[in-house]
Structures are given as C-alpha cells and as structure tokens.
Structure 1
Amino acid sequence: MANRTEGDINLSDRRIEWQKKNISDSTYRILEEDSKYFIHQALSTPCLDCVESVDGIYLYTKDKRKIMDFHGNSVHQLGYNHPYLINALKTQLENLSFSPRRYTNQTAINLAKKLSELNGGNKRVLFTPSGTASIGVALKMVRYAKKKFKTISLWDSFHGAGLDSISVGGEAHFREGIGPLLPGTEHIMPYNSYRCPFGNCDDCGFKCLDYLEYICRCEGDIGAVIMEPIRCTDVQIPPKEYYRKLRDICDRYDVALIFDEIPTAFGRTGKMFAYQNYDIEPDILVIGKGLGGSLYPLSAVIANEKYNVCSEISLGHYTHEKSPLGTAIGLSLIEYIENNNILDRVSEIEKFMTSRVYEMRDKFECIGDIRCVGALIAIEIVKDRASKEKDIDLAEKILYNCLENGLSFKVSQGNVLTLAPPLIISDEELSESMNIVENAIYESIQK
C-alpha cells in the first residue's frame, strides 16, 4: 500500500470497487486513455472519474453525476464559472489578452496596487503563473537581499512541486528518490501539535520555538523561516502566542518570515488573508490558487519594501508575469468578496459546520479532533479518542460513501477528512453536505 500522507490513495481495492459501481464503460475508456498519454505520478494517477463540466459548487461527471466540490484544489472560493469573474475575463479578453516583456498594463498594476493596500501598503508585488514559482521567487529574494542562504521549514509541510519548493517542503511523495535537494534547507518542527516531540502547544510553553531560536542564535546565517500560517491540508491552527513569539524571534535574528497562503488566502479562514487572524505580518507573503478564480493560473509574491533590492537579477521573468487576463480575474475576485460581504458569510459557514460536526462527535466515537477556522474544517477519524490512533480504513470508507452520494473532499494524513466548501455555498447546500457526511460515517461504521 502506498504511503498515505498528503491525500487519499488512488490504488486501493475500495477505489476499484467504487469505480465498478459508479462509472460507465465509456468513462472507463476515457480513464484508460488518460493513463496511456499522461505521465504517471502519485496523487494524480490513476484518475477517479471524468469531469465534463463545472458550475457553482458542483462538478458534473461524464456519467451525469452531480457532486459538491469541497476540495477544489483550493481555487474555488467563489465556486466555478462565477458570472462576475467570467464577465471580467470576457471584457479583458476583448481588449488586451497578453502583455509581452518590456511592457506593462493597467490591469496588472491595479491588482498589484490592490494587493499592496490589502496588506497594509508600502508592499512590492511580483506575479507568477504558479504557487511553486512564487515560492522560488520568495526564496531567491531572501537569499539575494540578506546574503544568508539557509531556510527553516516544517516537517510534513507542502510548498509546491518544484525542486526548490520540495526542498523546503516535507511531503514524502514529492521528495523520495529525487536525490540531492536545495542546500541549506532544514525541517525542524511539526505542524501537528499533539504529535510534536515537545508536547502540545497548549501546555508545552512553545519548546519548539525555543529550539528554533537556539538554531537561529547558534548558526547565525538563517535567512528565512517559511510556513503556512494555517495549514490547509489537515487544518493545523496554532495559537496566537505561537506567532507572536515566532515574529519576535525572526526580528531579533534578522530572519525573514515567509508565509505561504497559496491555498488559504481570500477568505477561506474568515479573513482576507489567514495571517490576519494572528495580529502579525510576514515579511513576504505568497498567494495563489484562488487568486485566479478557478479560471486562470495566477500567483503572487507580496514583499516588504526592504526586499526590493534585486533589480540586478531576474527573480521571475515569467512569460505571463503581468497577464491582463489573470490579473483581471484577480481584481474581480477581490471586488466581489469585498462588495458582497463574503467574509461575513464565512463566519456563518464556520458556525454551522462546527455545530454540526460536534453534534456528530457526540454520536460517533470514531471522530477524534475537530479543527475549524472559517470555511475549512478537519475531522480526524480515529480508532480510539484517547490514543488518537488513526483509522485509515474507516476514513477511506467514509470518503467513497460521500463520493457516491454527491460530495467530494480531501483526505489528509490518511485519516483526516478536510472539508473546504466554496464560500458562496447556500444554507441548503451546506446542510445537505453535512447530512451526507453524517450518513456516510453511520453507514461506514455499520459495514
């Protein structure tokens, strides 16, 4: 059995059984063609099903199945085919579709200005076509500006699939068998507090940060610490004091604090940016995924003014660096969130999901820890609440039961059900989704 960390497994007997029951011969042929022509890789192949169209919160498969998408690769803050974003894309397409090197365009400038303002002003922005590319830009920016070439990141973290990104990421699926990675990268702390060797964040006095400070003090050449302020995949939510202490350490030892918000920016956690839950600011913020509104691949690096010292080198120099199409979508996404009280709606979603899942926990002993922030919730499926031993088999049963009944989500760490609904979901749809989860847990236990 493949190593279960970042996501659900694509090669299990249960998946094969689900496909036999739920997909047609014609869809099988499409999946076989996909397998024939695409390079195989963990997590992406073999494919589960074939999507024919998307709209709102739904995926529609080749076999006409309608599925709520609570995964969305984190691009679906406003769902799919949102008319406000589509209109912005069409308008931009009719006027300016591409901006080549040596030239700028007003749309890209407007989005850069807006991102600077949303992050307190006096910020510099660089756009790239992917989150992975933006992580690389952030790392290069720190190295060049500080002339300190070591980076600290977290165990089991994920920052993208490029060679530099997997060097600061800790996911085995991306690192195994690749050989030497970027020098000067160290993984020193876990995301998951109750599996931390120093103890639980609530009662250990943040010994992990004492260790981090020890490294910064003794080595003297740490350039950056990089992490997701709230980890998206299995929803790890450090307390505020954790980040106050971390910010203080970075300031005292001249270490850049890089926050990776590629999956969590633009309202997912109840704030426009996840770090705003913590009353601190990073030196460099990396965003992506949702910035393109599920319509265009767009990412950005947002840095403090003092990092604007790289004019002698090409940090990114990407072909679509100032894409009029991508930046038009990004602007319209932010406008819609601001003008339609989406952040207030996220607060309502959080209250509803939290209430329902805790009700489920009272009914089912298999539900362990529950972690919720905004429209992002993790439900740990365990054999024993006291020991918190993972029940990977039961989590997989629940996943495929939900898929059969019209709900898709991510499974992280083998046993964590991670639910991330689009922020435009209706009350009726949200209630239906929670009913599907509850029924799936009940039915999976019975089998």
Structure 2
Amino acid sequence: MTTTRPAPLSSWPSDLSAFCFEVPHSEESLLFESGKGVRLSDAAGRSYLDALSGVFVTCFGYDCEPIVRAVTDQLRTLPFNPPLHGTNRAALELAQGLVDLAPAGITAAKLVNGGSESVEAAIRLARLHHRSRGNPGKVKILSYYHGYHGATFGSLTLTGRPDVTRFGPGLPGVVHVWPPDCLEAFWDVPAEQSGALAAAMIERTIEAEGPDSVAALVIEPVIHLRGMAIPSADYLARVREVCDRHGVLLVFDEIVTGFGRTGRPFAAQTFGVTPDILCVGKGISGGYAPLAAVLMAEHIAEGLGEKGGPVSFAPSHTYAANPLASAAGLAAVTLFREGGYLDRIRELSAYTEPRLRAVAGDRGTVRAVGLLYGIKLAGGGERLGERVASACLRRGLIIRGQDDWVVLAPAFVTTTTEVDEIVGVLGEALDEVCGAGR
C-alpha cells in the first residue's frame, strides 16, 4: 500500500463552527463519505483499510446486507413505538437471543442505547438489588484505576483515569482498585504473581471500606486502555470468589470484549467466570444502530418482577429498545449465531496473531485474545502509540494508538489477504517510528 495522506482541510465544508467534534479537530481528521467491506472512503476519494472495526463495532463490515435489509424492513413497518405503553417484537426476540448467547445463569436483558448507558444501568441495578434485600447501605462501586467505562457522569467516574478529572468531582461512592497489569507496569510485580496480589488487594479494599457498604465491582475482563491487558488464567476466578465472600456483585463491562470478539460470545465464557451483571454493546448491532444491553443473572432479575414472569427496570430512556436498533441487533445476533462466525473468528485469529508477533519483533509485546490485539511498544519516546497510529493512517490503515501501545480489532469478515495488508502497513509504520526490528 502506498503512503497516503488524510483528506486536506480544503475537502471539508467551509464552515465547521456548528459541529462539535468527538476529539479535537486536526490535520488528520477525516470526513468519511462511504464504506464497503472493511474499507472506508473519505471526501477526497482516498481509501482506508479499517483494522479497528470502527471502534470494535463494525464486526460484519460496512455493507452487511442482512442487517441493512432488517433495518430497512423495520423502518417501513414500525420505526418507533410509544415506550410508555409497550414494546416491539424485534426487542423481545433480541433480548431472548442475547440471553441464549450468554453464559448459563444469565436470564434477562435490558436494552439500552450505548455502552455508557449500560454501565450506568448496572450501577443502578446493583444498588437496587441490595436495597430490595434489606441492605440499603451497600452503595459503593469499585472499579479499576486506568480502566474505561464510558462518557456519562457515572460511567466516567468509574473510569479512574487522571484525564477525566477536568470535569470535577465524580459520582460519590466510587472507589478504585489496581488491576494486575498496573501492578506489573508500575511496581514490577511478576506477571505470575500479579493476579493473586491484585485479587487480594481488592479483598483488602472491600474490607477496609466495609463489606456492608460495597454494592459491586465493575471491571473489564480485558482492559482496552492498557493496550489490551489480558489477565492471568486464575485472576477472574479469584475475583469471583472475593465478591462472593463479601456479598459484592461482580459486573463485567464487555462493551469491547463481547459479541464474539474474544473467540466466544462473551469474555465471561472465554475466561470461564460468570458475572452477576454483564454490560454489552458496540458489536451488538454491527454498527448499524446505537444499541447496548445489560444482561443479568436470575438472582438479579427476580427482584425486578414476579419470579418467572416479566421484569421491568425504570426509569429508562426514550429510545431504549427502539424498533430500528432492535431490528439491527436481532439481525446481527442471528447472523452471528447462524453464520459460523465463531469458527471464522478462531481461524482468522490463528492466521493473524503469529503475523503480528513476527512484524512486532522486539519492538513490542503482542497481547492477543480472539480478534482483539494490543501491542505494548518497547523503548521510550513520547506519544509512541499515537505516532505509530498516525503513521498507519498516512498509509491508509486505521488502528488506535495511545501512550505506549496500539490496538487492532479486525472485522470478522476480514480476509487473509487484508490481514497481510494490515500487517505490512503496520510494519512500515513501526519501521518509521520505532526503527527496524528483529
């Protein structure tokens, strides 16, 4: 692939004053016009190979006809329903489809609009669960330092990163704990010991705060903003035991890891640990509509209605369980379940991982689970990850980079030829920023 440049600012509309960008506008900001397969085109007609699935979202690519058809049919039939008076068939079927994919014991699904909202709902659900059982004082939420849980007020508080403190004090009652990866990086704890120590520190934190005051622990099974930090085999099982000992609900934020990304429907199944509450999003609709969900175990759901009957959880949002989003999600779940995608993910992962390790060489450590990849870059240098990602973008490849890492998440429909192209461009970018490797 030849080196290319993002669309020049002259290709943008002359007046940008009305639009508030998600990230600061720069010379690298792109005005996307179209997408097909795993490629995007910008306003200047340049093509980009998307090795990030948008942002862990477009797992079926940008022109998935079954999902497009389902949304189109729903748009013509019922684009919206009065949410105070009922729901729609697509939402009912999607909820059942998600529960069928989830680990055994998960029995109910609350549909919401995005990952942040899913995490917010999990916080409310955890507090409500304890209150309904006569423990109204169990309100504190534990989460990781250096994790990420969203952009709304409560989910941002759980995020535990110094770059979010500019918004002032966060949600009261949030306490942060250290994940294994941080123990390894900041205090040189050996990897084989970090899981046991991190789990023990979580237990000491619960005891110090008072078990009667702690409602839930919310964690990412794989930590995206640590360069896809993957826990040791026994860590999550230890955390499950700690939570059970102290009556603390375990919540997995699987916004990134869910929906097949780790090689199983959810990371909970990949790591063999079932949480009480599971937050899912991103790939759940394949990127064809804003959609997320909160999945809950039976002992959580039974407090929301008569045992064995319908459950309800309010207040909710106007567009929650929207017919269009539900139709997109149902089509994506059906395609995932019936289209042989778990086998495809495993095959594509087996092809991709060794090639990424080879191209990284001694320039970085590859972390891989399913079709989630992080490369922890070696050596110093300011904004190393951002510079590598920028070098990729100039060559027409979309990945993400920050601090000392880059991450990739190819779509499930990526071909081996496209994987070779991804690896080749990444190698050129690493050569430019990090020098030739071995």
TM-score of the superposition, structure 2-length normalised?
A: 0.88
Deviation of 1:25 (Å): 5.0
CA RMSD for the aligned pairs? 2.3
Moved more, 305-314 or 257-266: 305-314
Structure 2: unaligned runs, 5 residues or longer:
131-135, 306-310
Contact 1:198 1:208 in 2 (8 A): no
Pairing 1:99–2:81 present: yes
Relative to 1, partners in 2 of residues 1:51 and 1:181: Cα closer, same or farther, differing over 3 Å?
Answer: same
In the other structure, the counterpart of 1:115 is 98
In the other structure, the counterpart of 1:293 is 286
- Secondary structure in 1 aligned to 2:321? coil
Deviation of 1:352 (Å): 2.1
Deviation of 1:401 (Å): 2.5
Contact 1:229 1:261 in 2 (8 A): yes
Moved more, 370-379 or 334-343: 334-343
Q: What is the aligned counterpart of 2:29 among 6, 29, 48?
A: 48
Contact 2:51 2:422 in 1 (8 A): no
In the other structure, the counterpart of 1:128 is 112
Identity level (%): 28
- Secondary structure in 1 aligned to 2:147? coil
Amino acid at match of 1:403: L
Superposition pairs for residues 201-280 of structure 1, below 5 Å?
Answer: 201-204=191-194, 206-218=196-208, 219-220=210-211, 221-233=213-225, 234-280=227-273
Pairing 1:348–2:344 present: no
Superposition pairs for residues 373-384 of structure 1, below 5 Å?
Answer: 373-383=369-379
Relative to 1, partners in 2 of residues 1:204 and 1:106: Cα closer, same or farther, differing over 3 Å?
Answer: closer
In the other structure, the counterpart of 1:337 is 336
Deviation of 1:445 (Å): 4.4
- Secondary structure in 1 aligned to 2:252? strand
Q: Find the aligned partners of 1:60 and 1:204 in 2 and give their Cα distance.
A: 44
Superposition pairs for residues 402-421 of structure 1, below 5 Å?
Answer: 402-412=392-402, 414-421=403-410
Relative to 1, partners in 2 of residues 1:44 and 1:334: Cα closer, same or farther, differing over 3 Å?
Answer: farther
Deviation of 1:155 (Å): 0.6
Contact 1:216 1:222 in 2 (8 A): yes
Amino acid at match of 1:402: C
Q: What is the aligned counterpart of 2:296 among 303, 307, 310?
A: 303
Q: Find the aligned partners of 1:122 and 1:375 in 2 and give their Cα distance.
A: 24
Relative to 1, partners in 2 of residues 1:198 and 1:226: Cα closer, same or farther, differing over 3 Å?
Answer: farther
Moved more, 159-168 or 111-120: 111-120
Pairing 1:84–2:73 present: no
Contact 1:130 1:299 in 2 (8 A): yes
Amino acid at match of 2:58: H
Structure 1: unaligned runs, 5 residues or longer:
1-17, 384-389
Relative to 1, partners in 2 of residues 1:314 and 1:278: Cα closer, same or farther, differing over 3 Å?
Answer: closer
Q: What is the aligned counterpart of 1:398 among 388, 396, 407?
A: 388
Q: Deviations over 1:157-202 (max 9, x none)?
A: 11011111111111333x2222221111011113525215471331
Aligned residues: 414
Relative to 1, partners in 2 of residues 1:266 and 1:314: Cα closer, same or farther, differing over 3 Å?
Answer: closer
Q: Find the aligned partners of 2:298 and 2:6 in 1 and give their Cα distance.
A: 54
- Secondary structure in 1 aligned to 2:192? coil
Relative to 1, partners in 2 of residues 1:381 and 1:307: Cα closer, same or farther, differing over 3 Å?
Answer: same
TM-score of the superposition, structure 1-length normalised?
A: 0.87
Contact 1:128 1:316 in 2 (8 A): no
Q: Find the aligned partners of 1:251 and 1:26 in 2 and give their Cα distance.
A: 58
Q: Find the aligned partners of 2:109 and 2:24 in 1 and give their Cα distance.
A: 31
In the other structure, the counterpart of 2:124 is 140
Q: What is the aligned counterpart of 2:159 among 159, 169, 192?
A: 169
Amino acid at match of 1:135: V
